[in-house]
Amino acid sequence: MFLAVGWPGNADAIDAAKIGIDTDRGYVTVDASLRSNLPHIFAAGDINGISMLVPSARLEGRVAAENAVLGTRRRFSHEFVPTGSFTDPEYGGVGLTEAQARARYDCEVGIARYRDLVRPVIDDHPEGFCKLIVERNRRYILGAHVLGEYSAEVVQTASACMTANLRIEQVAELQPAFPTFTEGITVAAQAIVRQMGIAPTAPTWGELRAADPTPRG
């Protein structure tokens, strides 16, 4: 077994401080427009230690380059960056975990199990689930966590819904292609709509089965 924890910065290795660039624990410190303390030097990506992910580095690269070359003052945001682990089973997540959300908000949680969706069953990958966490008051998604086949793909739809500030009842009305794993997002959203009584909706097959697990012929 190999276990690695932490991710040390190495901006000091290029003697950033020697030319007067401020660093903190090996990372170049930047402001919200990715400008370092030297106004003509910007730092995007891992080197600033903010969000150590490819999609974040790509966005920061564009923002920093535009600010540097066009003189704009664009700011970056990493509020809704999905992450995934490309393991077996795969995992995808965005936003707060259920524990984090419950510590700060009054929440409702909806779960769609892969075994109740058509595509995972067809593909013989029925292990997994899609969980949405919603703030009850304003009905926005606080977090989404998907475990199972294609979960890092599936969670991107939740991330898009969060970025667009969709309320959960709007997410429940999306019409994802059938049969797909992504349907888990809408099925979980429908469960929340039903649990919160936002609109009267019929239970899904999975909920009926959970209520009465007696096998039927």
Return the number of the residue (41 or 53) whose C-beta is nearest ligand FAD: 53
Return the number of the residue (81 or 198) whose C-beta is nearest ligand FAD: 81
Question: Is residue 90 within the footprint of ligand FAD (CB under 6 A)?
Answer: no
How many CA atoms are closer than 13 Å to the CA of 210, on its beta-carbon side?
A: 11
DSSP string, 131-188: EEEEETTT-BEEEEEEEETTHHHHHHHHHHHHHTT-BHHHHHT----SS-TTHHHHHH
Report in angstroms how near the CB of residue 87 gets to ligand FAD at its nearest.
11
CA 176 vs CA 116, 154, 169: distances in Å: 16, 11, 15
Question: Is residue 57 within the footprint of ligand FAD (CB under 6 A)?
Answer: yes
From candidates 12, 29, 53, 91, binder to ligand FAD by CB under 6 A:
53
Question: Is residue 118 within the footprint of ligand FAD (CB under 6 A)?
Answer: no
Partnered with residue 128 across adjacent β-strands are 148
Question: Is residue 45 within the footprint of ligand FAD (CB under 6 A)?
Answer: yes
Which residues ranging from 14 to 33 are in contact with ligand FAD (CB under 6 A)? 14
Question: Is residue 174 within the footprint of ligand FAD (CB under 6 A)?
Answer: no
Q: Name the segment binding ligand FAD (CB under 6 A); options: 42-50, 94-102, 129-137, 156-164.
A: 42-50
Rounded to 5 degrees, what are φ and ψ at 133?
Answer: -120, 125
Q: Name the segment binding ligand FAD (CB under 6 A); options: 54-62, 137-145, 164-172, 180-188.
A: 54-62
DSSP string, 85-113: E-SSS-EEEEE--HHHHHHHS-EEEEEEE
Judged by the rule CB under 6 A, the positions of this chain that interact with ligand FAD are: 14, 45-47, 52-55, 57
